[in-house]
Amino acid sequence: MAGSDSAEQPRGRRPAGRIDDWTAELADVLGAKGAPVDVARLLDVARDVAHGVDRPAVPITLFLLGYAAGQQGGTEAAVAAGCIQIERLAAEWAERDGRAGTP
């Protein structure tokens, strides 16, 4: 494959720091520099929604999380509280659909 590098990351693996670099640059471009972004936590929430609800629900969920947290002052605590609520709701949906514990 043209431009392919022998040290290319396996599918599903990301180069260390790439997500952090993207997040920092995106926050700057969007005028949200210094926003409380816990990348690992957001990825966990995204995984829970993708597996417990449906993959297309992930971007909508994260948009609503950010919107709701912003309405509550945009603090780390507001984001964390929203994550907890989303994780609980996604688990309820997974259980209703018989998908609880399915990766």
pTM of the model: 0.77
Does residue 39 form part of some domain?
Answer: yes
Does residue 42 form part of some domain?
Answer: yes
Does residue 13 form part of some domain?
Answer: no
Place of tokens 């952090």: 20
Does residue 71 form part of some domain?
Answer: yes
Closest alpha carbon to 78 in 67, 89, 90, 87: 67
Does residue 17 form part of some domain?
Answer: no
Closest alpha carbon to 90 in 57, 56, 42, 43: 57
Alpha carbons 57 and 83: distance in angstroms, whole number: 14
Contact 75, 38 (CB under 8 A): no
The confidence band for 102, taking pLDDT boundaries of 50, 70 and 90, is: low
- Kind plus residue range of the DSSP H or E element containing 28: helix 18-29
Domain that holds residue 59: 35-96
The pLDDT of 65-74, averaged and rounded, is 96
Does residue 90 form part of some domain?
Answer: yes
Structural domains of the chain, count: 1
Does residue 59 form part of some domain?
Answer: yes
The pLDDT of 25-45, averaged and rounded, is 93
